[in-house]
A = this chain, B = another copy of it.
Amino acid sequence: MSFSCGCCRILGPVLFEYDTPRIVSIKSRKVGLINRLVQLGILAYVIGWVFVWQKGYQQFDSVISSVATKVKGVAVTNTTDHGVKIWDVADYIIPPQEETSFFVMTNLIMTLNQQQGRCPEMPEDCPHCISDSNCTAGEQSPRSNGIQTGKCVPVNSSTAVHTCEVLAWCPLENDVDLSQRNIFNGSYLKQCVFNRTTDPDCPIFRLGDIVREAGEDFQEIAVEGGVMGIQIKWDCDLDQSVSKCVPQYTFRRLDNKDVQNTVAPGYNFRFAKYYKGPGEVESRTLIKAYGIRFDVMVFGKAGKFDIIPTMINIGSGLALLGVATVLCDVIVLHILKKKTFYREKKYKYVEDWYDLVGNSPACETP
């Protein structure tokens, strides 16, 4: 005990001393049981819910995906305007390939042999006119199909109705004759076909089945068009075998079919096929394509064991265990009959009223 060193005086107590709190161990069935029950509840929450059920030991990452789609099938139409017509994939998939989506044309309005020129506006779209003074050259209204030339002309030879003449692709599209039919009846065949109950993992779908699964009517959606979501949920537990990591398919309609509350009900767009006739005159066939856009949406998350979420959950679980002590202290020190006795055992009172400048005792102590 006679030999000493400077650094030991500092490091000695730090390294070779162990501080542990002094404990009052109260032998009370009531408080003991309450304490253990609260601790048990917290442990059950941390182990059962956070770790086992919610996999709190895993770090989650989201899915990055790429989807390739292919549509097969032929449709036939028989209309008075265009006769019997065959529609195959090259006709009804527009554009021919997209990344995560494909559009199937199910209804259309064709306007054949349009050429750039001057023609009267559609009487359904625009206000009628009486003289040239009703039409302003260069004006363009949002519902119009072209730029006004300033002239007021008869719509056709058999009517007295006049509309403003426009510079446009003529003849204009006649939306009124829209025949409410669709070119598909929604049935395709392939060896394995998706079925919610018998083949839930088969990635080949009948268009009709997709629409039916979403609770929609194919005939209805095919006429006005719409947007269908093919949702692929891909939740994977990478701590387990990869073979258990299979996608789940669900379908829902994404567009608002409530005609009242939407800007443009259904789904349609216009495109044209361009031709060049004799004498280099360009003409085009304008097609207003109604159809179903299928959006493939892949989501999900992959979880893998990671030390950080594990430690965060263990750490905050340990801190929550302290709640049991706080609760039982309230019972022991404020509710039990022998609370004064316990308080004496737990607390040692040390007074230090005189650490303030001056000598002004604000409160009396019992």
Contacts and interface: CB of A to CB of B under 8 A. Distances in A.
A267 B356 contact: no
A308 B51 CA distance: 10
Contacts of A4: 363-364
Interface of A: 1-5, 8-9, 11-12, 14-33, 35-36, 45, 49-50, 54, 56, 62, 64, 66, 68, 70, 72-74, 76, 84-86, 88-91, 93-101, 103, 113, 116, 140-142, 144-147, 167-169, 188-190, 203-204, 227, 229, 254-255, 263-264, 267, 269-277, 280, 283-287, 289, 293, 295, 297, 299, 307-308, 311-320, 322-323, 325, 328-329, 332, 336-338, 341-342, 345-353, 355-356, 361-366
Nearest to A34: B18
Nearest to A315: B316
A317 B319 CA distance: 9
A124 to B, nearest CB: 16
B315 A272 contact: no
A111 to B, nearest CB: 10
A99 B98 contact: yes
27 contacts: A4-B364, A8-B364, A11-B363, A12-B365, A17-B25, A19-B24, A20-B332, A22-B345, A23-B346, A23-B348, A25-B347, A28-B353, A30-B355, A66-B295, A68-B267, A74-B144, A74-B168, A90-B286, A95-B96, A113-B280, A204-B263, A276-B277, A313-B316, A315-B319, A315-B320, A318-B320, A341-B350
A1 to B, nearest CB: 6
Q: Which of A16, A35, A277, A297 has the most CB of B within 10 A?
A: A16
Q: Which of A20, A263, A267 has the most CB of B within 10 A?
A: A20
5 smallest beta-carbon distances between A and B, as pairs: A315-B316, A96-B271, A12-B363, A8-B363, A95-B95
Contacts of A32: 15-18
Contacts of A97: 94-95, 103, 269, 271, 293
Contacts of A12: 362-363, 365
A337 B280 CA distance: 105
Contact of A90 (B11, B284, B313, B355): B284
A169 B92 CA distance: 13
A103 B99 CA distance: 9
A350 B23 CA distance: 11
A145 B74 contact: yes
A298 to B, nearest CB: 9
A85 B116 contact: yes
A216 to B, nearest CB: 15
A27 B365 contact: yes
A2 B364 contact: yes
A101 to B, nearest CB: 4
Given A76-B167, A142-B190, A263-B203, A22 B23 contact: yes
